[in-house]
Structure 1
């Protein structure tokens, strides 16, 4: 199988961390592609008509896409139990919260990097950050119990989301008021799977 990636994407990183934790490195080849929302690489469109990464190309079926679909597929393939049935709805909600933080902060990055300066909206950027900040605060106040214990996809997703905020929006100071989550993040990012997938 081939995974189309851009290393800085938090959605991609979530999948790459799972691959390492599930010990699937020998079954998934990671292929870096140069693609943007404005100029989508043809191989990405061929795998995902929406033109988004990550996309997983399988030898025995059509490409699958959306990071949550890919992680669920790979977890099932490996039997890694990163979607534990005993807490499945909580874990899926935690993953969705992390993905929403990614959505908002990636949108902020695109506004700054892809839109002409005269077309950028500071109000829109702040609205996106408000969404991300609410999500981060919710994880800190409601979901910390799910960030301990056996590894699950919620933990991987939250770590990937927060690490992206550090990468692109470090000045926002997400740790202020979220000290418990900040301590957890510092410990989780020391895992080999996080270290080896950190964007250069």
Structure 2
């Protein structure tokens, strides 16, 4: 199998975290497809996924899988992991946390595209103000949930770590740690995991 990714993508990092946590690295090749732009198709991604987005998991003899929630759940099933709790409240908590973090990442990536490709990163722009408020609200929700984070990471914690790591990478000005001591302490501790160290973007 081959994972098509870009180093800076928080969604791709989530998949790479799953691969590392599951010990699947020897069986899945990582292929960096280069820049992905909302203004032009990426040939490698578009050849495998109709929307041309990454990440994409290319499977020999089978249809490619996308997007990150599908890829991560597939990997967990194949490697018989425990990133997705089987049932009960633990499952819904993990999935809800993943949805929260994915929403934050979608918002952050949209803000990044707005700043880079349209030159509109102004804090006075109503759209930018609204999206930034959504990010702040998401971080607040993560902070309220941090006391219940699972000691053995699920897809929820991996998604939150990917989201916060992306904010560190691209949105230093948002200063998400301000007033969020417990969440920041959790993230700093989690960031020491080998999976986090090996997937940290260098861009």
Shorter-chain TM-score above 0.5: yes
Which of residues 177, 182, 199 in structure 2 aligns to 1:197? 199
How do 1:98-177 and structure 2 match up within 5 A?
Answer: 98-117=101-120, 122-141=125-144, 143-177=145-179
CA distance in 1, matches of 2:99, 2:128: 21
> 1:116 Cα deviation (Å)?
4.4
TM-score w.r.t. the length of structure 1 is 0.94
Question: In structure 2, what is the equivalent of residue 12 of structure 1?
Answer: 12
Cα pair 1:111 1:120 within 8 Å, conserved: no
Q: How does 1:20-39 map to 2 (within 5 A)?
A: 20-34=20-34, 35-39=36-40
| Cα pair 2:122 2:128 within 8 Å, conserved | no
Q: Distance in 1 between matches of 2:157 and 2:61?
A: 30
Would the aligned equivalents of 2:123 and 2:129 in 1 still touch at CA under 8 Å?
A: no
The answer for unaligned runs of 5 or more in structure 2 is: none
**Cα gap change, 1:111/1:120 in structure 2, threshold over 3 Å: closer, same or farther?**
farther
Alignment check: 8 A CA contact 1:15 1:70 kept: yes
SS in 2 for 1:31: strand
TM-score by length of 2: 0.93
Q: Cα offset for 1:40?
A: 1.7
Partners of 2:103 and 2:132 lie apart in 1 by 11
Where structure 1 has 5 or more consecutive residues not aligned to the other structure, the ranges are: none
Partner of 1:52: 53
- Distance (Å, rounded) in 1 between the aligned partners of 2:47 and 2:142: 36
- Distance of aligned partners of 1:146 and 1:72 in 2 relative to their CA distance in 1, 3 Å threshold: farther
Change (3 A) 1:96 1:197: same
Aligned 8 A contact 2:4 2:30 in 1:
yes
CA offsets, 1:124-147, max 9 Å, x none? 112111111101101111x22332
Structure 1 moving runs of 4+ over 4 Å: 116-121
The answer as to whether partners of 1:5 and 1:55 remain within 8 angstroms in 2 is: yes
In structure 2, the CA distance between the partners of 1:196 and 1:119, relative to structure 1 (3 Å rule), is: closer
